[in-house]
Chain A
């Protein structure tokens, strides 16, 4: 992925740049949303500005010219905004959003190496120009002075560097050797040193241009006891023979130009002056992109160096003389640099200010590795614990207390490490207002979005997976659930519909709800369509809730016309499947005329879960505690056998179907009688409760989730795997899938025969 370094040394940073862009754009979107809702502060404006500024800087470094040009103008607009020259009225906010979109797109184009059309984003640019030219400005002042916004051209370094070197190339008055002869008189003033400019370096640079002869005039140097160490007493005269031109010579002094007396003359072969120029201005020609400052500020009086000047002089001499062998006078450079050893200045503000709560940026990879390592630590620790348990070490031995402490420490460590990856859902939620705005506008509906619980935190990996499902469900609400203003009024509702997006922690999971106050699910239509598509049989009777959940059936879509919004062929079934892959569940509840509510539950983290270890036919499995409602050992009387060999268990008046785990997994042996084993009651999505039949309970522990699919593939009924303390692999059950499995074994296959044979066997025993 890395292009050859020698072609473009910065190419490797493109990855960082684009990562940064996506963070900046995400933050910006949030800020713009705040701006729109009116809940923003000044800092918000500065933050938005900085985001575009950073994107522009990076874009320039990689010569993404379209991006540079656009972000340059956008940045300018934002600067006007943050300095108060423009106010954020609706129109401006609209422009900002539009520009944001273009900016995002241009970043995308740059990332993919594509070039957008010539006029891409022109609309936004025009709008920006409009504001900058004062057409729609509501604030006073600035625009009046500048009828035409005078934005300096954005600079893209490659061009200017080329231009600079081009301009530097030609020098007309070379002498007969092709060399030019300059005489330079250079007298620094005190101010130069205050800006930490070093004559030694300047002189060295000058000497790099060619052959020099140097004369120094130290006549102004006073006696030591009255000398000001930071004052400037020397002046130099240089004769320079160089193949370079005047521009290069100027460049040497460009930084200190205002802090010194400088005379540069060009001499011909006979040492006659050809060209005279005194102190070339700082802004001659184009901005070469760098410069040195000169300040007139005097240092506060009374700051005198303690260090003996003599020492300083000696230091300087030792570091290398500045002069050529044929210098006419003894030269000593007494620049105060070495001598600046100030006594602790009373007013030293220095770095004493307590830093505000700061954050550090860490690569996601590093955090992931950390999480993995801690996971391994958990496994090793439980292995150790087991060994210690099984050993002959007496229980009073300190090893046991040690193990307990270790266990606590590791658990704490794990919590803290996991929390590093936790992020508030806000980052995902913040994209939703935009979607609601855009889509509702397109559909001509009035909808407001209410969000709650944005600060609820979830593992980063889960957050990333949330965006698509949420977007889908919201679009679904907008498309199908919510009525047009007219329809709403007719129905006696308020013109403006609402969608409530909320997140909260519940029982070790995160529960996200999307509820609208629209028309609810059209059950007749759904049932009809389901029958038409063969999803349900003609004569099946379904409860209302079951009909509602039909929308998750594969290939299901009630859209009459395929709009480009929800009907892109990606239906709710994909949403459900994706959520399930994450270990989550999604369900829907609806009330005709009143509204629809989607409920999404997800594990807080994808890396670790609390599990109950169970035995089935001698094999150990993990059941996620979050799925477990309760565990029972039903009395014989409460167990009923059905004709096909399956069982139900009566719990508090309800009949719960029993999933014969061993049989479902085709294991020989295993407890077949619910009253002799253990039934774990679990809730599936769709709200059904089933009872998993297992042999016994082994314990409960937190397990690190390991993927089965990385090296193998998905196994039905199995969600993932973990590694127990003894180093063996233990499979984690997928309760929902398990609950469906017996039904999937078609009659007539061998498996089903085993099923029946075993049932017969059991019956015969």
Chain B
């Protein structure tokens, strides 16, 4: 497939699971543990999709989405945020920041792949 996805989450378990699921489906996966590191990793690297958690130290997911959207390289890159159902305001914030969609944690692998397929295939 050749598509690259960046997954950003401060939980190693989450990173591992997302990475595993996506790699298993043939995607190339980059990971980062917070927004700051994600941005540095993206210097000189292009990705086809960014999946990010919201609650992270140093730079939360919403801020990351904002920064990505203001970068010409990622203006039109699909961005999914990982959120939990109890965070309705967070979805709104993500929306306002320019995120393409959201996935609720915890998720089953099939769902992740389905959503990923929907935005980037």
Contact = CB atoms under 8 A, between A and B. Distances in A.
A345 B111 CA distance: 36
Contacts of B96: 295, 297
A708 interface: no
B115 A161 contact: no
B13 A13 contact: yes
B100 A196 contact: yes
Given A255-B101, A289-B107, A347-B70, A197 B85 contact: no
A291 B102 contact: yes
A356 B58 contact: yes
A76 B117 CA distance: 32
B20 A9 contact: yes
A161 B108 contact: yes
Interface residues of B, number: 60
Interface in B54-85: 55-58, 67, 70-73, 75-79, 84-85
A355 B39 contact: yes
Contact of B11 (A57, A204, A289): A57
B30 to A, nearest CB: 13
Contacts of B102: 290-291, 293
Interface in A1-33: 9-10, 12-13, 16-17, 19-20
Interface string A49-69: 110011011111100000010
A684 B34 CA distance: 50
Contacts of B71: 348-351
Interface string A190-205: 0001111110011011
Nearest to A196: B78
A293 B39 contact: no
A630 B57 CA distance: 52
B46 interface: no
A156 interface: yes
B106 A58 contact: yes
A361 B33 contact: yes
A351 B21 contact: no
A293 B105 contact: no
B95 A295 contact: yes
B100 A61 contact: no
A597 interface: no
Contacts of A153: 85
Contacts of B84: 53, 56-57, 75
Interface in A275-324: 287, 289-295, 297
B58 to A, nearest CB: 6
A195 B43 contact: no
Contacts of B17: 10, 13, 61
Contacts of A198: 78, 119-120
Contacts of B105: 57, 60-61
B22 interface: no
Interface stretch (A336-344, A519-527, A650-658, A692-700): A336-344
Given A255-B101, A293-B102, A351-B67, A9 B85 contact: no
Contacts of A58: 11, 13-14, 106
Interface of A: 9-10, 12-13, 16-17, 19-20, 43, 46-47, 49-50, 53-54, 56-61, 68, 72, 75-76, 79, 151-158, 161, 193-198, 201-202, 204-205, 255, 287, 289-295, 297, 336-337, 340, 342-345, 347-351, 353, 355-356, 358, 361
8 contacts: A13-B13, A57-B105, A61-B106, A68-B106, A75-B86, A201-B117, A350-B70, A351-B67
Given A195-B98, A293-B91, A345-B72, 19 more contacts: A50-B56, A57-B14, A58-B13, A61-B106, A154-B85, A155-B106, A193-B76, A194-B98, A195-B101, A196-B100, A287-B104, A290-B101, A292-B100, A293-B101, A293-B102, A294-B95, A342-B72, A350-B39, A355-B36
